[in-house]
Copies of this chain bind each other. A is one copy, B any other.
Amino acid sequence: MAKHSFRVGILGATGAVGQYLVARLDGHPWFAVTEVVASDRSAGRFYAEAARWMMPQKMPDAVGRLRVKDLQSELDCDLLLSALDARSAAAEVAYANGGFAVVSNSSLNRLAEDVPLVIPEINRNHLEAIPRQRAARGFTSGFIVTNPNCSTIGLALALKPLQDSFGLAAVRVVTMQAITGAGLDGITATAIQDNVIPHIEGEEEKLEVETRKILGGISATSFLPAPVEISAQCNRVPVLVGHLESVFVRLASPAAPSDVEQALSHFRGEVAGLELPSAPLHAVHLASAADRPQPRLDSGSEGGMAVVVGRPRPTLEGDWKFAVLVHNMVRGAAGAAILNAELLAADSWL
């Protein structure tokens, strides 16, 4: 019998992240999908008809038979996972106000001073802001917890072991992001065919600001961003899944290569021992070959929940440089939200 058992509603269930949520919750030991919510256009139809299903696995029958509800609907569930885009994510606040725990992948509330932006292995303690959020917003039982942007998660997970062992001084990162990161309809084929686009609206700032918040601390009244300078350049590449990032990082104290490798490959983070169903054994893998990680070959590490670091090596001005890969739809979105929900269950916030 399951230790926890929750009925889950999915906001934004028909989009790319919504489909990954549906697929990954199929057979989940703690969570069962009982509500699917989407835009007015889909509302009233069966999920099987409303969703332009693009996952390789079959749509779970039980979800396919659910009627899609709109964002004003009453919902019969214990918990909401939100894949809403920033434009419609205002509904999250309404549902939190209505008493729901909302675990959101949306960018809308990530940087709010009373909203935890959480990667369980890194800053589980940021959940302490939930009572403060409730007080500030007049929520009774509801609240909002968010997970970061897809490229942020890869960067933050690679940086955290280095921060713990050596401290961080400055980070420069160049991303090569997959097309699914923009959603099902985000990029036209004619734009990205045989091409790279050196710009993703708002992405550089997300990477810079979110990473500092996640790697930072928390006081009784606010989050305390980590004192590390971060600068990003973001590119879109013609790849379906997997954000690859080339990182230069200045450590605060000297490190030997074997220490860096050990810090990365031994990292377990704050969830060790919690037995969260979606938590990878190692959130950070160290690639064994010089030409890895590669999006098509390595995004699926530990079912997509592990990031993979390649070739960490020292370079100019005390920098280290390496590549890091994150499955943007799993660890970078749907899996991140589910893992946050599992943490909330394990820590008795649900």
A interface with B by C-beta (< 8 Å): 16, 54-57, 170, 172, 174, 176, 179-180, 182-199, 229-231, 233, 235, 237-240, 242, 244, 246, 248, 290-297, 300, 310-311, 315-317, 319, 321, 323
Instruction: Verify A196–B239 contact, CB threshold 8 A.
Output: yes
Please give the distance in Å from A151's CB to the nearest CB on chain B. Answer: 14
Residues of chain B with a CB closer than 8 A to A321's CB: 172, 231, 233
A189 to B195, CA, bound (A): 12
Shortest Cβ distance from A185 into B: residue = B188
Instruction: Verify A290–B16 contact, CB threshold 8 A.
Output: no
Partner of A229, one of B233, B317, B323: B317
**CB<8 Å pairs between A and B, sample of 20:** A16-B190, A54-B190, A54-B297, A170-B316, A176-B196, A176-B235, A183-B190, A186-B190, A187-B188, A187-B189, A188-B188, A188-B189, A195-B294, A195-B297, A196-B244, A196-B294, A198-B311, A198-B323, A199-B292, A235-B323
Please give the distance in Å from A18's CB to the nearest CB on chain B. Answer: 14
Partner of A316, one of B198, B230, B315: B230
Shortest Cβ distance from A55 into B: residue = B297
Interface core residue of A57, A193, A238, A244 (most chain B CB under 10 Å): A193
Instruction: Verify A300–B56 contact, CB threshold 8 A.
Output: yes
Given A54-B190, A248-B231: A294 in contact with B185 (beta carbons within 8 A): no
A191 to B57, CA, bound (A): 16
A334 to B323, CA, bound (A): 31
Given A199-B291, A290-B199: A246 in contact with B193 (beta carbons within 8 A): no
Residues of chain B with a CB closer than 8 A to A194's CB: 193-194, 238-240, 295-296
Top 5 A-B residue pairs of the complex, sorted by shortest distance between their CB atoms:
A174-B174, A199-B291, A195-B296, A229-B316, A233-B246
Partner of A291, one of B183, B197, B238, B293: B197
Partner of A197, one of B56, B242, B294, B316: B294
Please give the distance in Å from A121's CB to the nearest CB on chain B. Answer: 22
Instruction: Verify B291–A240 contact, CB threshold 8 A.
Output: no
Residues of chain B with a CB closer than 8 A to A180's CB: 190
Residues of chain B with a CB closer than 8 A to A296's CB: 56, 193-195, 240
Residues of chain B with a CB closer than 8 A to A292's CB: 198-199
Interface core residue of A57, A311, A316 (most chain B CB under 10 Å): A316
A251 to B315, CA, bound (A): 19
A180 to B195, CA, bound (A): 13
A141 to B19, CA, bound (A): 53
A316 to B170, CA, bound (A): 8
Instruction: Verify A198–B244 contact, CB threshold 8 A.
Output: yes
Residues of chain B with a CB closer than 8 A to A184's CB: 188, 190
Residues of chain B with a CB closer than 8 A to A242's CB: 196
Instruction: Verify A176–B179 contact, CB threshold 8 A.
Output: no
A290 to B315, CA, bound (A): 30
Please give the distance in Å from A101's CB to the nearest CB on chain B. Answer: 30
Instruction: Verify A297–B56 contact, CB threshold 8 A.
Output: yes
Shortest Cβ distance from A296 into B: residue = B195
Please give the distance in Å from A249's CB to the nearest CB on chain B. Answer: 11
Partner of A195, one of B55, B192, B295, B316: B295
Residues of chain B with a CB closer than 8 A to A237's CB: 176, 196, 237-238
